[in-house]
Amino acid sequence: MLETLTVQDAVELAVVERSGFVESRHSGAAVVLSPDGEVIARHGNADALILPRSSLKPLQAVACITAGAVLEGEQLALSTASHSGTDRHASVVRDVLTEGGLTEDHLACPPAWPTDTAARDDMVREHMSPARIRMNCSGKHAAMLRACVATGWPTEGYLDVAHPLQAHIREVIERLTGEKIAHTAVDGCGAPVYALTLTGLARAIHRIGTASDRSPFALHRVAGSLVRAVREHPWTIDGPGRPDTIAIEKLGVFAKGGAEGVMVMVAQDGTTVALKTLDGASRASTIVAATLLARAGALTEAEVATLAAALPLDVLGGGQNVGVVSPGSGI
């Protein structure tokens, strides 16, 4: 059976301090690429296989657009989002579907409550039920459906690994990562997710994050347009007060977290970080990624401090701040 990095492969990425006592440690691996795409730092085994989870979405979104889905602005940004299910998110996803002659019933992601507390409370007060369009991956699924409509592929079974859409997505992923896919699994939303090395994921995200929307090459133009859309509409990719949105708003980076502690982040100069926490915790991923960018010279310490102040890193005791989640000694 294939597996991700082991305990022996990992280094300390973050620590959790409570009242002067280090209560927990998050170990894992990380890799940093220079603006020209060269590996400049490795922490732990960055060549171990991981499942990128939602950090794979930028690659899947690029594939959907190159397959024919025509999306711009907020709609394009939502195609790579793990959104919090607010009314605003749902409205944009609904427009993506409607403009393709589709409905919410075409979505194959599972029904879900919004992760945004206010939106969920509103739905409960209105006696509503979990809905597919509120699921955090509904933007990705809507883009997949639009690609099928544009290309003439069947919308039925679009998540099947043998479907032509998924074959196209695999091809784009292998092209961007420079790797053959090692293993295919099923993501939480039902879509295929592929095992890649952390370095391969970083390579792909670097290529996307440094692409120009004026490139003569279609794949690069699409990638550049996607990153620009996310930076112009940071609320789309996550949600108000949530880590990816905060990082984009505060630092101008391109950031995309994934389940089980995966994070990718590209600074404006192209410096790129990809990391994975071994225990799957995500609470430290954003600040660790930003810290690694700063140590590579792509961000200032002041910028990282501004980000840290906006993230939910405080450790509480009796309702008071008694500690903090912070980068560990392994980086």
Geometric angle at alpha carbon 281, from 277 and 284, rounded to 5°: 80
Residue 52's pLDDT is what?
Answer: 98
Residue 60's pLDDT is what?
Answer: 98
Mean pLDDT within 227-240: 97
Taking only the tens place, the pLDDT of each residue in 50-106 is: 999 999 999 999 999 999 999 999 999 999 999 999 999 999 999 999 999 999 999
Taking only the tens place, the pLDDT of each residue in 11-43 is: 999 999 999 999 999 999 999 999 999 999 999
Task: Judge whether 237 and 244 are in contact, CB under 8 Å.
Answer: yes
Taking only the tens place, the pLDDT of each residue in 246-256 is: 999 999 999 99
Lookup: tokens for 16: 């959790």
Q: What angle separates helix 57-66 from helix 138-151, to the nearest 10 degrees? A: 20
Q: List the CATH code of the domain at 7-327.
A: 3.40.710
Lookup: tokens for 80: 């790579």
Please provide the DSSP assignment of 4-65 as one string.
---GGG-EEEEEEEETTEEEEEEEEEEEEE-TTS-EEEEES-TTSEE--GGGGHHHHHHHHH
Against a cut of 0.85, is the pTM above it? yes
Spatial distance between the Cα atoms of 143 and 134, rounded to a whole number of angstroms: 15
99: left (phi over 0), alpha (psi -120 to 50) or beta: alpha
Q: Is 77 exposed, middle or buried (0-12, 13-18, 19+ CB in 10 A)?
A: buried
Domain boundary assignment for the chain: 7-327
Which among 124, 53, 131 is positioned nearest to 85, based on CA atoms? 131
Q: What's the mean per-residue pLDDT of the chain?
A: 97
Lookup: tokens for 321: 């701040």
Percentage of the chain exceeding pLDDT 90: 99
Taking only the tens place, the pLDDT of each residue in 155-206 is: 999 999 999 999 999 999 999 999 999 999 999 999 999 999 999 999 999 9
Q: Is the pLDDT of residue 5 over 90?
A: yes
Q: Is the pLDDT of residue 1 over 90?
A: no
Lookup: tokens for 257: 């977290």
